[in-house]
Amino acid sequence: MIDRKIIDDIGILTVENPPQNYLLEPEFIPVSELKGWIEGNQLKALIITGSGRHFSGGAKLESVFAMTESAETMETRMNKGKALLGYLQDLNIPVAAAIKGICFGGGLEIALSCHIRICSENALFAFPEANQGLMPGLGGTFQLGIRNSLKDSLKMILGGDMINAEEAILLKIVDTLVKDEEPLTYALNFLRKITEGRPLKIINYVMQSLRNARELTSEESMREETRMFCDLARIESVRRKNESRESE
Amino acid sequence: MKQELRTLSFNLVSGIGHLELNQLPANKMNAQFFSDLKELVDSLKGLKGLEAIVISSTGRHFSSGADLEELLELSMNSGMEHTDKKGLKDRNIFETNYNSFLFFEGAEIPVIAAIRGVCIGSAFEFALSCHFRFCGEDAVFGLPETTFNLMPGLGGIRKTAALCGKAKAIELVLKGNTFGASEALLNHLVDRIVPRRNVVDFSFTFARKIMKNYKKQKAPLYLQQISSDDLIFN
């Protein structure tokens, strides 16, 4: 259901359940499995995309209602999904969502957990949950709320309105709108360009600094940045010394 | 109050303190600069009559940033994990540097960077510690540290993410490319482009306009008070 591929140290996860690429489980790929794959292959970046015409329509309604048969398991399963999205958001390599077609509900929540969102002109975004007597269950309310006014967030979450790519740019749901190119191709080239020749450690430190900026005070975040900087500088000094010794 | 240090000068006139980087040709931020900056910051803390700060530079460029060779040399025996005497001393140098930047970032009075020419690496991080950035059309920005196998270490990552969003910050920092004034404006990394020769004058005009009852939290609102009159230069 999730296809995995690696191109130039960049991992690509593709939701394979066409046509709408419905998610069968909130934890659409087990965290431990994903972690093992990313770390084992020393991946420098990750892309999440959908197979065929769409990103993902989220969870299928029937499967959500089927889950309610056991309230306890449902909560556990939802929390596992949240933990997976939390893992993606805190990952110390860049994570990009390459989006075309529909990106609804849980699909949109996956996209909002990525660091970078790239979409095509035909992309459509929505939280249709309220139309079915539900609400976004994997952090979508929060993710939209931190980016927008209450008015805009409510319009989308309570109104259940569908928006297009240009509106998504305005609501800070999307970073880049790609024309004349597949979002996946664009995402791959973009990530290749920014990670090529960069040691994994630097990528990890930069991503860690971004996370610190969100979680720590200015002082704490500065102190951490200096610690990481000094560590890199020491490694680089040693490398240069060895290099000049070798050339002698 | 007037101070002339080896790499910078500071002059307080009518409430506005003018900090000028003054180490030609490109105002490199070496250990001497950071030591001078600390000395200045210590003297500014609690200084009466200081109502705004404008930071600019002599010469063609704002600053080309840190002295890489010197930094690498210093870092050899430094780092927070080292506990030996030498290590602790050097660690304090880095801590001093970021504390100086944090002083400007946290100041309750407006701090304005007036940028002409090159402003890269730590120099850009210094400008990002200011509350407002005005630049000439010739300004060049960038955080090229990762291209030297390093990373921005003085708040650059945090500040760019806050101004232009996470996706753009990742791109700027990992690519490490330089970019011009209009791209900086587009990404909210500068607040206004003015003719190069008027950048400092404009910064003073703006400082005078907003320094009474300045509230740092409202910084973006002050930019809306810029009127067309402020942009008429003699």
pLDDT digits 0-9 by tens, B124-137: 999 999 999 999 99
What's the CATH number of domain B2-231, 3.40.50.720, 1.10.579.10, 3.30.390.10, 3.90.226.10? Answer: 3.90.226.10
Question: DSSP of A152-221, one letter per residue?
Answer: HHHHHHTT--EEEHHHHHHTTS-SEEE-SS-HHHHHHHHHHHHHTT--HHHHHHHHHHHHHHHHS-HHHH
pLDDT of B85 strictly over 70 = no
pLDDT of B229 strictly over 90 = no
Contact B146 A206 (CB under 8 A): yes
Contact A116 B71 (CB under 8 A): no
pLDDT of B174 strictly over 70 = yes
The CA distances from residue A96 to A48, A130, B22, in Å, are: 6, 27, 43
The CA distances from residue B95 to A160, A209, B102, B175, in Å, are: 50, 16, 10, 26
The mean pLDDT of A11-40, rounded to a whole number, is 96
Nearest CA of chain A to the CA of B195: how many Å?
Answer: 30
Q: Which of A175, A202, A225 sits opposite B155 (nearest CB)?
A: A225
Look up residue B121 and give its DSSP letter: T
The mean pLDDT of A146-173, rounded to a whole number, is 93
Map tokens 């929505």 to a residue: A126
The 3-state DSSP composition of chain B as helix, strand, coil percent (nearest 5) reads 45, 20, 35
pLDDT of B91 strictly over 80 = no
Contact A115 B167 (CB under 8 A): yes
Contact B171 A228 (CB under 8 A): no
Predicted pLDDT at B69: 85
Residues of B in contact with A210 (CB under 8 A): 157-158, 161, 166, 169-170
Nearest CA in chain B to A114: B167
The 3-state DSSP composition of chain A as helix, strand, coil percent (nearest 5) reads 55, 15, 30
Residues of B in contact with A226 (CB under 8 A): 80, 94-95, 97-98, 153-154
- Give domain limits for chain A: 2-195, 200-247
Predicted pLDDT at B77: 59
CATH 3.30.310.50 fits domain A2-195: no
Contact A172 B165 (CB under 8 A): yes
Strands (E), A31-123: 45-50, 95-99, 102-104, 116-120
d(CA A83, CA B156): 29
Tokens of B232: 């008429």
- Give domain limits for chain B: 2-231
Predicted pLDDT at A221: 95
**Lowest-pLDDT choice from A30-39, A205-214, B79-88, B165-174:** B79-88
pLDDT of A24 strictly over 80 = yes
The mean pLDDT of A188-195, rounded to a whole number, is 97
Tokens of B53: 């700060």
> Chain A interface, mutation test: which of B157, B163, B177, B188, most A Cβ atoms within 10 Å?
B157
Contact A175 B165 (CB under 8 A): yes
Predicted pLDDT at B228: 84
pLDDT in tens, B2-45: 999 999 999 999 999 999 999 999 999 999 999 999 999 999 99
Nearest CA of chain B to the CA of A124: how many Å?
Answer: 20
Predicted pLDDT at A77: 93
Instruction: Check: CB of residue A47 under 8 Å from CB of residue A15.
Output: no
pLDDT in tens, A96-143: 999 999 999 999 999 999 999 999 999 999 999 999 999 999 999 999
Q: What average pLDDT does chain B have?
A: 91
Q: Which of A193, A199, A223 sits opposite B175 (nearest CB)?
A: A193
Predicted pLDDT at B94: 81
CA torsion through residues A179, A182, A183, A188, sign: negative
Q: Which of residues 15-44 of B touch A (CB under 8 A)?
A: none
Contact B170 A232 (CB under 8 A): no
Helices (H), B107-229: 122-129, 156-164, 166-175, 181-186, 199-210, 219-223
Nearest CA of chain A to the CA of B206: how many Å?
Answer: 26
- Of A111, A115, A76, A105, the closest CA to residue A195 belongs to A115
Cα(first)–Cα(last) distance of chain B, in Å? Answer: 28
Binning pLDDT at 50, 70 and 90, where does residue B79 land? very low
d(CA A208, CA A202): 10
Predicted pLDDT at A127: 96
Q: Which of residues 210-229 of A touch B (CB under 8 A)?
A: 210, 212-213, 218-219, 221-223, 225-229
pLDDT of B73 strictly over 90 = no
Predicted pLDDT at B46: 87
Q: Is B75 on the interface with A (CB under 8 A)?
A: yes
Binning pLDDT at 50, 70 and 90, where does residue B120 land? very high
- Bridge-based pairing of strands A162-164 and A124-126 is antiparallel
Residues of A in contact with B102 (CB under 8 A): 218-219, 222
Q: Is A4 on the interface with B (CB under 8 A)?
A: no
Based on its alpha-carbon atoms, the radius of gyration of chain B, rounded to whole angstroms, reads: 17
Nearest CA in chain A to B150: A232
The CA-based dihedral angle spanning residues B203, B206, B212, B214, taken in that order and rounded to the nearest 10 degrees? -80
Instruction: Check: CB of residue B155 under 8 Å from CB of residue A222.
Output: yes
Nearest CA in chain B to A97: B167
pLDDT of A200 strictly over 70 = yes
Predicted pLDDT at B83: 43
pLDDT in tens, B190-212: 999 999 999 999 999 999 999 99
Contact A213 B171 (CB under 8 A): no
Q: Is B165 on the interface with A (CB under 8 A)?
A: yes
Tokens of A173: 């749901």
Contact A222 B152 (CB under 8 A): no
Nearest CA of chain A to the CA of B75: how many Å?
Answer: 6
Predicted pLDDT at B82: 43
pLDDT of A199 strictly over 80 = yes
Predicted pLDDT at B90: 53
Binning pLDDT at 50, 70 and 90, where does residue B81 land? very low
